Amino acid sequence: MTDLASWRDTDTRSAVESFVERVTTGPNAVPEAERIAVFDNDGTLWTEKPMPTQLVYVVEQWRKQAEADPSLADRQPYKAAVTGDYAWLGGAVDKHYEGDDSDLKVLIGALVGVTAGLSVDDYAASVSEFYENAKHLTLGTPYADAVYRPMVELLRYLEAHGFTVYIVSGGERDFMRPMTQEYYGIPPEHVVGSALGLAYDEDTHEVRYAADLDFFDDGPQKPVRIWSRIGRRPLIAGGNSNGDMQMLDFTRKGDGLALLVHHDDDTGRGDPPYDKGADAALAAAEERGYTVVSVKHDWAGVFVDPAAG
């Protein structure tokens, strides 16, 4: 899949193709080693509504913890997990993008309790089992089918033009790694995300999770993690939320292409329209030079075709 078959013939597609041609052909072509593209995950490469996929996984772990200790069910986020209050859980993420981290801190505090003491191998096995069996909350399909086909086409298109692609997400790194090769064709070593604390167990010779968060890869942390992990300023970056603005600005500073996915599709194709959590980025798009990708107008299709593998 090296063409952009699911992208309509719009100014957005032309902007992508023109930029790629400019930086990959002719005497001023950028060397392949410097052709770096970075993309956010939730809401950029696959759907993030009604709440990010990792929250779906974690909610089930919280529900099990509350069953074992009923006293937990009286406080958040365990209360939301037990009652199925997805609005509170998804709202905690939306509030973060609006600058209010009060509920996010509650989520993170409970999140680290899910993995504390687990080996990295046991966690990877648990997450892989989730991906094999879980169904998207509203689509009713496996999460592999909630991937945006136009974005996967874009990944292959860039690779065909000598780009190396990384995922740079606020999502937790080790939750993404078990699926990125299969879903996106991106190897786990090219996944940059939030990270839980780690420690080496001398007795069992295992790497295990500590009861803390090492860093949250969002907002101004994204350019920092890009530089620390990749060591190059990206030529292309793609995101969809206020938390991606610094990554997009970092890319634009180097005269790169910054893509902002706008979820404006009200045609019933399965991707609900929303601006919440992206309002600041959308408002600043013209001034900061972001190329806005309209799900409604720029994409001929939304999700991958399971029959096509």
pLDDT of residue 90: 80
Q: Which tens digits make up the pLDDT trace of 2-50? A: 699 999 999 999 999 999 999 999 999 999 999 999 999 999 999 999 8
What is the SS3 assignment for 224?
helix
pLDDT of residue 239: 98
pLDDT of residue 185: 98
Helices of type H across the chain: 11-24, 53-68, 78-83, 86-97, 102-115, 120-133, 149-160, 173-184, 221-229, 245-253, 279-288, 295-298
User: How far apart are the C-alpha atoms of 248 and 176, rounded to whole Å?
Assistant: 21
Q: Which tens digits make up the pLDDT trace of 231-252? A: 999 999 999 999 999 999 999 9
Delimit the domains of the chain by residue range. 11-48+143-308, 53-133
Q: Which tens digits make up the pLDDT trace of 196-206? A: 999 999 999 99
Of 284, 279, 246, 247, nearest to 264 by C-alpha is: 279
Domain 11-48+143-308 has CATH 3.40.50.1000: yes
Q: Which pair of tokens denotes residue 276?
A: 């919440």
**In which residue are the tokens 């190329």 written?**
291
Would you say residue 1 has pLDDT above 60?
Answer: no
